[in-house]
Structure 1
């Protein structure tokens, strides 16, 4: 396995890019360029903690090991492809999505890439259930923890509880939107962990350890946690390890948006972790909250498209949108500070500049 320089895409109609740090690749989807329900692979956001590795498909293997398994097993790509194949439509969202708004709310930026709203995408992922793969090694009754590890330079790894690892929609994905996984999205194999933070969906999968004890790493104890004055430390972690993503909505607009006066249709997306969104409401300037129209499909652990039709006068306006999910969770007006800048899902006052014509 060799390393190649990370590919950084320039500011364009496809991406906003984040400054590279230590070999990272960070490219944010411009939601204003999305048309259909799925995010095209070429537009899907990129979050890689180190340079994207090059992996030889002919020699790549997946190692299954640990005291939670009855035996150690090594599988190659052909062995995975020979198992029953399934497809799911699911979102993957960075836990730091919308992190830039911490600086807006608190006057200082939280640590990490300063995403606005485009560190999320929904794709059709195809491959094999993680459960089917682990069964090749036999899961012991005493097993409680599953630790997948990537083949990137930093060996990114983050644990899953056994029940989440064995869920029907936790996959080892080999394809994305009907095509083999691209390198920047984890080829040849990556996890897809429905409804959880993107860091759980390990890319460039090379090893899975199943244990009868807790397995922790830096990435669930010192990062991708809710840490700060409002969050107590849990166990080895500096705060509360993040799992499921919260309810959130955003318009398919650039920041700030440039619009024409008159009747306009504004579209957007809303989502909520493992569930689905029941309602989206919008508010223009100081007006009352009004219902947005929900489109179809509305899939769990993915998103729903919404639209509003509103009259816009020339000048500066603010659009606010909030989502309510099937469990009754409402997108909040504000969120408390956390040191890692994760899980920002407050209602955002989106600036609209409406020209004279």
Structure 2
């Protein structure tokens, strides 16, 4: 693609990924956040999960351009990096991103057989403040035609990652071309110089290292919506592309956890895709379900933080947590099987050993 300079690094991922902060998913490209290393509401950049389809490209912003074209616009238009910062009003939004394959390893354990694909634990999820330009503001100067149907950002990585969005989702007020993350320019692993942020949808829709945006007047078929990031089950005649991720919760403890006896607060996160988390409940061993406190209520497209007090006796325990969203969707005891191991959101039996002081 003209107008950009790309180099490759000596390792697939640029930022350090120490075991004290990140969980290696085994591919050499993908690293999850350790759930017990999630301070505050926002995920720090140094531990925000990395999902790559190819090594992180390092792009020269002085040579990079973004081209908007396709049959769904009246005229193609090209932007430079500096122009994006200067020409358009900037918007900052806090939004959560989650890989559709999050918890795939646990899904395999639940089903009694592993799934192919990245062997994620619980850490392929994170929340950041994203600053950039509304995608609709970038498309408008190109002249969107009445026949426009889909908008497809395309990556400059070796995989040319791309995934179409319905026009309505692309034009939503919080769908961004992000230039900054948590108040700093995007790091290379998170899409520098520019990435799309699609709130509430699977992370694969938030294409990184964008170099082109195609606006189409017809449905687009790409591997990311026909072969991967799809739900395939025996009762569905064709793969169904994943859009929104399901409601799920996360306990901020190692798996398994080992804790000293004594009173404590157990904390965690819950996320419901495009919906809002309404309630979070917890169950200790064989006790009743009780309501956890929502310490920080996020909103649609943003996780919520929850907590509950616990003063456990020494011994082995099981902690269960389930979230319910504003639409009444509640985490199930078991996730229905699908061939690629996506969208696992079962209530987890979290093992905890409490030691005497």
State the TM-score bracket (shorter-chain normalisation): over 0.9
1:192 to 163, 178, 197: 197
Q: Which residue of 2 aligns with 1:37?
A: 41
| Contact 2:108–2:341 under 8 Å retained in 1 | no
For residues 73-84 of structure 1, the aligned pairs below 5 Å read 73-81=77-85, 82-84=87-89
Q: Which residue of 1 aligns with 2:3?
A: none
Q: Which residue of 2 aligns with 1:162?
A: 167
Q: Which residue of 1 aligns with 2:24?
A: 17
For residues 74-113 of structure 1, the aligned pairs below 5 Å read 74-81=78-85, 82-113=87-118
Deviation at 1:204, TM superposition (A): 0.1
Q: Which residue of 2 aligns with 1:317?
A: 317
Task: Indicate how the Cα distance of structure 1 residues 141 and 10 shifts in structure 2: closer, same or farther if over 3 A, else same.
Answer: closer
Deviation at 1:299, TM superposition (A): 2.4
Q: Which residue of 2 aligns with 1:178?
A: 183
1:204 to 197, 200, 209: 209
User: 1-side partners of 2:287 and 2:120: how far apart?
Assistant: 28
Q: Which residue of 1 aligns with 2:338?
A: 338
User: 1-side partners of 2:215 and 2:83: how far apart?
Assistant: 19
User: 2-side partners of 1:247 and 1:286: how far apart?
Assistant: 23
Could you say what secondary structure the match of 1:118 adopts? coil
TM-score by length of 1: 0.95
Aligned length: 349
Unaligned runs of 5+ in 1: none
| Contact 1:233–1:240 under 8 Å retained in 2 | no
Deviation at 1:106, TM superposition (A): 1.2
| Contact 1:282–1:319 under 8 Å retained in 2 | yes
CA RMSD of aligned residues (A): 1.2
Asked whether 1:149 is paired with 2:141, we answer no
User: 2-side partners of 1:11 and 1:101: how far apart?
Assistant: 22
User: 2-side partners of 1:155 and 1:34: how far apart?
Assistant: 31
1:9-29 deviation per Cα after TM superposition (whole angstroms, max 9, x unaligned): 555221111223xxx511110
For residues 184-333 of structure 1, the aligned pairs below 5 Å read 184-230=189-235, 232-234=236-238, 239-333=239-333
TM-score by length of 2: 0.95
User: 1-side partners of 2:284 and 2:98: how far apart?
Assistant: 27
Could you say what secondary structure the match of 1:128 adopts? strand
Could you say what secondary structure the match of 2:107 adopts? helix
User: 1-side partners of 2:65 and 2:191: how far apart?
Assistant: 14
Asked whether 1:133 is paired with 2:122, we answer no
Deviation at 1:200, TM superposition (A): 0.1
Q: Which residue of 2 aligns with 1:120?
A: 125
Unaligned runs of 5+ in 2: 1-5
